[in-house]
Structure 1
Amino acid sequence: MKFLADMGISPRTVNWLKAAGYDVVHLVDEGLERLPDDEILLKARLEGRILLTVDLDFGYLLAVSGATLPSVIIFRLGNERYEIINERLVEVLNRFERDLIAGAIISVSDRDFRVRQLPI
């Protein structure tokens, strides 16, 4: 799996994913920190990447677009420290790999996961 990290995702999470063998880029690494949300989704789709974000707007944009990709993992945590995001991300990758490959929005909270298949 390949990932694109939005601005709210720590570079430490990116480095952790890279160390685990994943292909991952952070928007800031490519000088794209001001890229509009719709263009971030397009970039993720064209590059076959799963978007990692804390921004709820991406779920809305995907829903209204009718798109089937890219998959998006939205972290809605009380504490968004990278260690907690990494811990929850391990659970998502272990439990929902098929959903991510097929196209889904996965909302990750402190207590649970909500999976919505695309298109919505």
Structure 2
Amino acid sequence: MKIVADEGVDKPIVDHLRALGYEVYYIFEEKSGIPDSAVLEIANKNKALLITLDTDFGELIFRLKEAAHGVLLFRFAGLTRDEKLKIVDSTFKNHFLELVDSFTVVTKESIRIRKLP
């Protein structure tokens, strides 16, 4: 699975996913500062899962009806690096196939997966 990581995603998460063998295009390294719509366009062009911490992508997908191959929104406020990595691992291990063509919100306590139209 290809992944586009929005620039707000922590570098240790990007490094961890790469170490697990995922191909990760990191906006912070490649095109920092571009608008969310351009980030989504890059993910779609590459048929990649978009990983973000930015809730604005919900508006792009649901209110403005933008297309997406899949969006994974992590809500990590107040968590340590190790807690974040544990949640990332669990999400990919337990829900890998469900992430494609879905808008997924992950917190420390829950995961909500909503299939995209």
TM-score by length of 2: 0.89
2:84 alignment partner, SS class: helix
TM-score by length of 1: 0.87
| Counterpart-to-counterpart distance in 1, 2:69 and 2:81 | 23
| Counterpart-to-counterpart distance in 2, 1:80 and 1:26 | 21
Q: CA deviation at 1:76?
A: 1.2
Contact persistence 2:9–2:52 (CA under 8 A): yes
Matched, 1:24 2:7: no
| Counterpart-to-counterpart distance in 2, 1:34 and 1:68 | 21
Instruction: Name the residue aligned to 1:93.
Output: 92
Taking only aligned residues, the RMSD between alpha carbons, in angstroms, comes to 1.6
| Counterpart-to-counterpart distance in 2, 1:57 and 1:27 | 16
Post-superposition Cα deviations, 1:55-74, rounded to whole Å, max 9, x if no partner, equal 00111211124355221111
1:90 alignment partner, SS class: helix
- Structure 1: which 5+ residue stretches go unaligned? none
1:25 alignment partner, SS class: strand
Give the count of matched residue pairs.
117
Post-superposition Cα deviations, 1:15-41, rounded to whole Å, max 9, x if no partner, equal 1111111101211211x1111011111
* Identity fraction in percent: 27
Contact persistence 2:2–2:23 (CA under 8 A): yes
Q: Report the more deviating stretch, 70-79 or 50-59.
A: 70-79
| 2:14 alignment partner AA | V
